[in-house]
Amino acid sequence: MKLKGPHSLDKFYAAIVTRLRRSGVPCAITGGLACAQFGTVEHTEDCDLILAANHGETLLKVLQTSPYDRAGCRYRKSSPPLDVRWLAGGFTSHFYWSSAGPEKPYLDVFCAPPRVSSPWERETTGLFASMHTVAEMKRTKRRKDWDQATALGIKMLEIGDERGWLHIFDGPALRALIRQHSPRKEELRQRPILQLALEGSPLLDRAIQTEVEFWTHLDALRLRVYQDCMEPYARALLKSAKVQPTDLQGQHRVRVKYAERLLPTRPLQDYGIDRLIEEAKQATAIGLDPQILRYLPSATPHFANITGSS
């Protein structure tokens, strides 16, 4: 499957992924570009890429030899280095091309994509991550992402992927679909509110809202952990900005040097994933009947791909 549309950025991103695949690198486009490909959003110019963590060096070489409109690739501001030690722990590396034209490519690279509960590399669709992977990543603190997750869930059910039940966060849509056929036991186990939908319970809409609030709090707390541990590293990079190399490999060496001294490799494990989940539950529970929390899904499997070195 190719990227849709005549946009030069589409072709540019596709060329990068194609080069990586030809070098044997497991990778896939996710995020807004994948949603556009699946027909759930309009075109977006940024690219989110999932990459196997031990192939960062290969990607760095590809980026260094992939100019756009004669502009070379550079790290963005305080981006962590594209290095397995930090990528495996859930950090994201950020790049851009300072094009003279109206388009400016931006690339975000994930090696431990947030909230993904199953091996993403086992099911890709052409250049893209699967709808299931993309939908799981859409459980963020941004309201628009929930509509996209729902649209992906509906499309999954239309093509017979029963995991679509896990991604529908619209009460009327869920009621209409569940009248047509029932979820499997596996999806009922993973997402307790589906039982409310089966029963026609008036609690369903509030339970969906609570689930969204929980994932929203969890995403905000997760980002806070990374942002807090990034501060010393970001300050050091900012102070050295005027004397940093302009070439990508030089910028990479500088980032690795500062990261080895100032950036922990496994911030979520250091903070405590169970602690993070419990704090999200507590934030969600404020002002609610605690009984409604029993309809929340288990979030623990959605952190299984976060490793990092000790």
Q: Identify whether the C-beta of residue 212 lies closer than 8 Å to the C-beta of residue 169.
A: yes
Query: What domains lie within the chain, and their CATH numbers?
Result: 8-131 (3.30.460)
Does the pTM surpass 0.85? The reply is yes
C-alpha closest to that of 222 among 143, 137, 295 = 137
Q: What is the mean pLDDT of each run of 10 residues along the chain (310 residues)?
A: 60 96 96 93 85 94 93 94 95 90 89 94 94 97 93 97 98 96 96 96 96 97 97 93 84 96 96 97 92 94 76
pLDDT in the model for residue 8: 80
Contact partners, residue 204, CB within 8 Å, separation at least 6 = 171, 174, 175, 193, 196, 197
